[in-house]
Chain A
Amino acid sequence: MANEEAFLVSHIGLSSIQETVLKSMLAVLQGKATARWEYSEAAAPGVLIVNPATPQGAEALKNRASTPQRIIAVFVEDESLVIALPPEVIRLDAPLRVMSTLDVLNAAAMRLATGSGSSTPAIINMPQMQMPPSSFTLALREIAGCSKGVFAIKSSAGDMYFWADEKRVFISAEFVDYAKLHQLTGLKAISVTPGDAAIEQAWALAKPWAGLLWQAGLLAGQGSLLPWLSGDCTYKLRRWPDASLLASRPAFVRLSAHFARSKEWVTPASVAQTTSAKVGDVADYINACSLCGYLIAGERVIAAPPPAAPVVSEEKKSLFGRIRATLGL
């Protein structure tokens, strides 16, 4: 994977001896690393090694967001600094050694080659449900997966009838307490023969089932992914959720934009990383999309860097932020 063009490496805060060691190590590693590396003081480096124990090094580490395409490697002489390390920087322990330097350069080269730069942080672990899903979730999933037939879920909290052809539902209770329904055990999807007078009456009052599936889905995992979903699997939306479902959750509009890109597949973990949404919210959103049938599943992404996060220009961020603020979004 050797590039013809060399990547540049520089430092802030290494002592003159450490700088000499670094330069000779780069010479030694020529031909052994996956890419060519050159030490450069003048040009903008692909990798900047910073020593945060020095004021300039600490400053460079703090301001790393202003140069997102540059990878920061933190030179760790003091173990107590390790707790405070942000996830997207690479760690380089003192004293400088050939093998650890080689590892850092190869990891950096992979990021630089894919253009993801330091905006590819370590993979987030999406929480997965430890308990089995509620009987309500499983019953809804079964019904939502059917394309025809009439079904019922009966419980102490009210009866529900579902028409799979038309995707409509009738609920006998005046107020639906989804949290309570998730707590009830033994709920089942029962197949029902249409033609019953009570069912005909119910049909007249039925409404689209997306609202119910969505609300139930949001509460199904309590911030963790349902068992048939994975944080490392790629997903795409086959359509956006209804406006009424997104209305009260602006964060879900952003998530929908990420999952509804026609050419790109993303994982819930990478989206949680890229957006400012809480991990639990991303899990709830994906759960709801799954139950509503909006999700198309792709492949499991194992031990590979997450898809590169789209870098939003500062100008766009500022403009869209102001538009949103003015409109109260």
Chain B
Amino acid sequence: MAEYKILITGPMGAGKSTAISAVSEIGVVSTDVKNSDLAQSQKATTTVAMDYGQISLGNGDQLRIYGTPGQERFDFMWSILSRGALGLIILLDSTRPQPLADLNKFLDGFAPLIKETGAVIGVSNKPGGPSIDAYYEVLAARDMMLPLFEVDVRKKEDVLLMVDALLSVLEIR
């Protein structure tokens, strides 16, 4: 009985829990508590440990999907949750004040995992915010090429496309 893991990260409000529930066959297990930092985000709750979803692959094998907390003060959870992950999905919220800085922050925070495996980036497709080319410039400045898409994580097909892109990239490493 084998277990495999994919990690989803990104700043608060980017839609990590939503993305997991789009594909998980169980209800998402979450560790959400009341958000006291309304300056950061208007969201009522925030994840402090992890979100968890899973998909059965047959043969008793499980694909586990973990969502990390978004704030940097929980970066000890980033390294705990990274262990043994097949790959990473970074979700970004283009309506936040500095989405490109957010991208840099998560590329830094998960650098070892990305180097060893791979990552896909999903940017919320709300109007305003930097162009897709601007995000790719951030990657180019780091000599990286990763799949980066505008997505709506409420749509299952968008989440599945990101998973498919991640698997495709991991396959030919």
Chain A residues proximal to chain B, CB less than 8 Å: 237-240, 242-243, 246-247, 250, 253-254, 256-258, 260-262, 310, 312, 316-317, 319-320, 322-324, 326-329
Contact = CB atoms under 8 A, between A and B. Distances in A.
Contacts of A319: 4, 57
Contacts of B149: 240, 242-243
6 shortest A-B CB distances, which residue pairs? A257-B168, A262-B145, A243-B149, A310-B172, A322-B57, A240-B147
A323 B171 CA distance: 12
Given A253-B168, A257-B168, A262 B161 contact: no
Contacts, number: 87
Interface in B127-173: 132-133, 136, 143-145, 147-151, 157-158, 160-165, 167-173
Contact of A326 (B55, B170, B172): B55
Pick the most buried of A243, A312, A317, A326: most chain B CB atoms within 10 A of its CB: A243
B165 A253 contact: yes
Given A326-B57, A328-B160, A240 B148 contact: yes
Given A238-B136, A257-B165, A327-B163, A243 B171 contact: no
A293 to B, nearest CB: 10
Contacts of B48: none
B61 interface: yes
Interface residues of B, number: 34
A106 B163 CA distance: 43
Contacts of B145: 237, 260-262
A242 B136 CA distance: 12
A250 B163 CA distance: 11
A243 B151 contact: yes
Contacts of B171: 254, 257, 310, 312, 316-317, 320
A275 to B, nearest CB: 9
A104 to B, nearest CB: 30
Nearest to A320: B167
Contacts of B40: none
B63 interface: yes
B56 interface: yes
B97 interface: no
B103 interface: no
A243 to B, nearest CB: 4
B145 to A, nearest CB: 4
B168 A256 contact: yes
Nearest to B142: A262
Given A253-B164, A261-B172, A316-B171, A247 B144 contact: no
Nearest to B57: A322
Nearest to B122: A243
A262 B168 contact: no
Given A239-B133, A240-B147, A243-B151, A257 B169 contact: yes
Given A239-B136, A246-B161, A326 B167 contact: no
A173 to B, nearest CB: 25
Contacts of B143: 262
A256 B147 contact: yes
Given A257-B147, A322-B58, A322-B61, 18 more contacts: A240-B147, A243-B150, A243-B151, A243-B158, A250-B164, A254-B168, A254-B171, A256-B147, A257-B172, A260-B145, A261-B172, A320-B170, A323-B57, A323-B63, A326-B56, A327-B163, A329-B160, A329-B164
